[in-house]
Structure 1
Amino acid sequence: MNSFEKLKLSKQLQIAVSNAGFSQPTSLQSKIFSRINGGQDLVAVAPEGAGKSTSLILASLNKIKHTEEIAPRVLVLVSSKERGQSLVEQFHSLNRNKSLRIYGLFHDEGTLDAQVLEVTDGVDIIIAQPDRAKSVYLKLGLNLNKLQLFIVDDADEIVKNGLQLPVSELGRSTPKAQNLVFSSVYHGKIARMLSYYMEEFSVIEIDELEEKDLKCIDQIRYQVPNFKTKLNLLELLLQDKEVFDKVLVSVNSKFTAETVYKLLKTKDVGLTTIKCGAFSNDDIEGAEDFLLNPKKSILIVVQEDLENLDTSKIPFLMFFDLPDEENLYQQKVTWFGEQQNDQMALVLLTDLELSEMKKIEQELGLRIPEMDLPDGLFIEEEIKRKKVEQEEQEDSSRGGAFHEKKAKNTKTENIRPSERYNKYKK
């Protein structure tokens, strides 16, 4: 039996995936297709390479057997034009029913009026950027009455690009469609976006790690909702001078370095920087000077200076930002030789940075433990100005799909930072 038969794909699709070189379903596909075939709304969370794109394509082509309507029956929302164009190509490569009309709806590909005419002439599957799809919908060019599948691809990237509002509004216009969401991570901002049009859904997560032969220093991470709360967390953690007697704080820009410096400068801490003289009078030459200076306990370093800095003897590496430069984080937390450095890396994340953290975990082949947020941390509220969030307050009768935080993410104990880190220090 062809392994893809278990997914209850059509004969044409089974031949197509076989010709494309797929021998068996991925773990993700094996878990989600019975639910998709049963008509369930679901969120599929998996890392790159887990088969998310192939899954949404197969689900779409399996649902639409032939052309029979003018109005589209599948709408796939993507995070960017480039991502959408790639997905259109993948659709065509797996589609054996050449009568199906597959159309990409993106910015800078013809005028809006021309795209409206193209859609109203009749299409079966639309792959679109959310704001472009909304514009066509408002021009009465996108009929969603016959829609069977409403799919959000790369939900984490859509949220990162600030496209939640058109996704929510389009989703609320398709109450009869089955909803499928694919993402590398799942966090509060994604849950909020989905809550405006999805009431009950399953979250299926594949979080497999390939073992790597790497030696790493101890690592932990904290996750907070936004940048201001991250600043509060940094300030609170560094108040424990008994633990953080020598700590490097890594940031990605001089602007952030200045923000952090001004925040900590008001406290009674030994603060210094490297090559940040524009706002700091405390510059030093390198890590050795920092370690030998008993009056200095916190060293702020911008990413561009981090790569060539010997950090191997600094007890704590605190990543306020995950480095943009590929593999820089991995370089700083891996070690070679027989003797492990007595170090710990702490990563401070916002929801929007979680997908990058997941990629790092895949590269390292290990799960970085998430810590409870410490008592006394002030969580900054985000300003709610968007129409869709105002509607949530005005229409509380709708209910929502917010899920309670897992127990591991809730604050359940009152432990000093020093006690917490002692569990991980050698």
Structure 2
Amino acid sequence: MTTFEELKVNKSILKGLDELGFVEPTPIQEKAIPVIRSGVDVLGIAQTGTGKTAAYLLPIFMKLVKAEGEDPRALILVPTRELSIQVGEDIAELTQYSNIRHAAIYGGIGWTKHADLVEPGIDILVATPGRLFDLYRNGVLSLKKIKTLVIDEADRMLDMGFMPQIRQLLEIIPVKRQNLLFSATFNENVEEMSHEFLDFPERIEIAPSATPAELVQQSYYKVPNSRTKLNLIRYLLQDEQTFSRVIIFVSTKENVESVFKIIKRKTEGEKRIMHSNKGQNSRVNAINAFKDGEVRILITTDVSARGIDVSMVSHVINFDLPQRYDDYVHRIGRTARANNTGEAITLIDPSEEYHLRKIEEVIRMEITEMEIPEDVEVMETSKDERQRQLREIDRQKKLEYPDFKGAFHVKKRNFSNKTSTKPSNPPKHAAKQKKHRKGRRR
């Protein structure tokens, strides 16, 4: 097994690694560090939770060596404020015995506060695209010394529509630089981005794209409706010792609030919620409290969950499935991090069975079905929810079979063919007679 010393990591960084308890490099670190050090462009594909952040940070530290000048020499672009904060914290921990300087900037707070961070001079800048251009346009930030550009979570960058800003950035920073692109999934869009962004890259892939972490035990329950989902979650969370630190993923911020109201009243332990409508301080405080063990249950959407790097998450519960199948991999990657085991539980109603099958195709494995415990009350599905499910199932069948007309279409056609004794358009003279009679009554 290769050691960090054999990878020629700086002594000051080795001291930080030792203090953090990192004994040996992960597979992505072992493969990526020597290649990045060679100076070539790199395309890194690795599951979340495998140590890919340190895989690009460590060779950057080795390249920078020490503090120098005022302008940043390495730029790390990330899609969300939470991930910016997380990468900034990783840098702070790893460089605690080095004088390398850094700043993490993101939207949600006044840009002048971040201007104060970069003004004394920094070596590494971690940024979301919007805030980066805020500082650049206001003359606070110079990018003329950038020698290394990292795009982290490239798939999410594309999903959030940041490609125009990235293209604009490439026109500003020096042409002569090293480019590093990291992603947990590799789809057609990421491939196109790599062709445009990287020059003759070295591809490093420790597992096929969209492969879940091996230490995650995956299962699912078939439930008829949302109310039964809530009953099942309440039942599972009664076991505080097993479900010690839990993230519940919900697809929309409205549903986050609804789930929180029920879970808050019916389960033990502190709970917090995170979604895009929450203020920055609230979201940061929720993550920190969850990391520190003060919060047992965190309920969140996909967008705000990037950047949650907590090593002892016991369970991820998918209250519903994500709109993008690749996000399933990101969700369950929040557990079983840093060589710990974890469990991912998914709850699906009849309209979500189609999406579960598609996810199994993406991850190339079958997910184990579990039986609903007898003590869980199975609720009757409301008429509105059943109609919603049927319409979604109709939509899915149309996607699979273009000639399928749909159950709702058939009903409408049959109704229109019924014979009616009432004329659809009464004769004009009948209307006149009715008007005449009405006038005579007056």
Per the normalisation by structure 1, the TM-score is: 0.51
Query: SS in structure 1 opposite 2:70?
Result: coil
Q: CA deviation at 1:48?
A: 1.6
Map of 1:347 onto structure 2: 358
Contact 1:150–1:174 (8 Å) recurs in 2: no
Map of 2:32 onto structure 1: 32
Map of 1:48 onto structure 2: 48
Query: SS in structure 1 opposite 2:23?
Result: coil
Report whether the alignment pairs 1:328 with 2:328: no
Q: Percent identity?
A: 24
Counterpart Cα distance in 1 of 2:204 and 2:215:
22
Report whether the alignment pairs 1:210 with 2:221: no
When the two chains are superposed, the root-mean-square deviation of aligned CA atoms in Å is: 4.1
Q: CA distance change for structure 1 residues 156 and 210 in 2, over 3 Å: closer, same or farther?
A: same
Counterpart Cα distance in 2 of 1:171 and 1:101:
23
Map of 1:111 onto structure 2: 111
Q: How does 1:25-424 map to 2 (within 5 A)?
A: 25-112=25-112, 115-116=114-115, 118-172=117-171, 173-207=173-207, 210=214, 327-328=345-346, 346-347=357-358, 357-358=362-363
Map of 1:14 onto structure 2: 14
Query: SS in structure 2 opposite 1:327?
Result: strand
AA at the equivalent of 2:92: H
Q: CA deviation at 1:76?
A: 0.8
Q: CA distance change for structure 1 residues 139 and 158 in 2, over 3 Å: closer, same or farther?
A: same
Counterpart Cα distance in 2 of 1:63 and 1:92:
17
Per the normalisation by structure 2, the TM-score is: 0.49
Q: CA deviation at 1:212?
A: 7.8
Q: CA deviation at 1:331?
A: 10
Contact 1:136–1:142 (8 Å) recurs in 2: yes
Q: CA distance change for structure 1 residues 346 and 51 in 2, over 3 Å: closer, same or farther?
A: same
Q: CA distance change for structure 1 residues 361 and 169 in 2, over 3 Å: closer, same or farther?
A: farther
Q: What do the CA deviations read for 1:18-41 (whole angstroms, capped 9, x no partner)?
A: 221111111111111111110011
Query: SS in structure 2 opposite 1:146?
Result: coil
Q: What do the CA deviations read for 1:106-141 (whole angstroms, capped 9, x no partner)?
A: 1133335x5346434421111110121123223333
Q: CA deviation at 1:344?
A: 12
Q: What do the CA deviations read for 1:319-368 (whole angstroms, capped 9, x no partner)?
A: 99759897337899xxxxxxxxxx9974179xxxx9xx55x95977xxxx
Q: CA deviation at 1:195?
A: 3.6
Query: SS in structure 2 opposite 1:79?
Result: coil
Instruction: Name the stretch that deviates more: 190-199 or 31-40.
Output: 190-199
AA at the equivalent of 2:153: D
Q: CA distance change for structure 1 residues 196 and 174 in 2, over 3 Å: closer, same or farther?
A: farther
Contact 1:168–1:194 (8 Å) recurs in 2: no
Counterpart Cα distance in 1 of 2:124 and 2:90:
13
Map of 1:222 onto structure 2: none
Q: CA distance change for structure 1 residues 117 and 176 in 2, over 3 Å: closer, same or farther?
A: farther
AA at the equivalent of 2:142: N
Contact 2:46–2:184 (8 Å) recurs in 1: yes
Q: CA deviation at 1:17?
A: 1.1
Q: CA deviation at 1:70?
A: 1.1
Q: What do the CA deviations read for 1:205-224 (whole angstroms, capped 9, x no partner)?
A: 111763788899xxxxxxxx
Contact 1:155–1:190 (8 Å) recurs in 2: yes
Counterpart Cα distance in 2 of 1:214 and 1:144:
44
Counterpart Cα distance in 1 of 2:34 and 2:123:
23
Q: CA distance change for structure 1 residues 67 and 200 in 2, over 3 Å: closer, same or farther?
A: same
Instruction: Count residues in correspondence.
Output: 254
Tell me which protein shows more helix as a share of its residues: 2
Q: CA distance change for structure 1 residues 321 and 67 in 2, over 3 Å: closer, same or farther?
A: closer
Q: CA distance change for structure 1 residues 213 and 34 in 2, over 3 Å: closer, same or farther?
A: closer
Counterpart Cα distance in 2 of 1:9 and 1:134:
33
Query: SS in structure 1 opposite 2:5?
Result: helix
Contact 2:75–2:148 (8 Å) recurs in 1: yes
Q: Mark the runs of 5 or more structure 1 residues left unpaired by the alignment.
A: 217-251, 254-306, 309-318, 333-342, 365-373, 378-426
Counterpart Cα distance in 2 of 1:139 and 1:212:
46
Task: Flag the structure with larger Rg.
Answer: 2
AA at the equivalent of 2:139: L
Q: CA distance change for structure 1 residues 94 and 162 in 2, over 3 Å: closer, same or farther?
A: same
Map of 2:396 onto structure 1: none
AA at the equivalent of 1:92: A
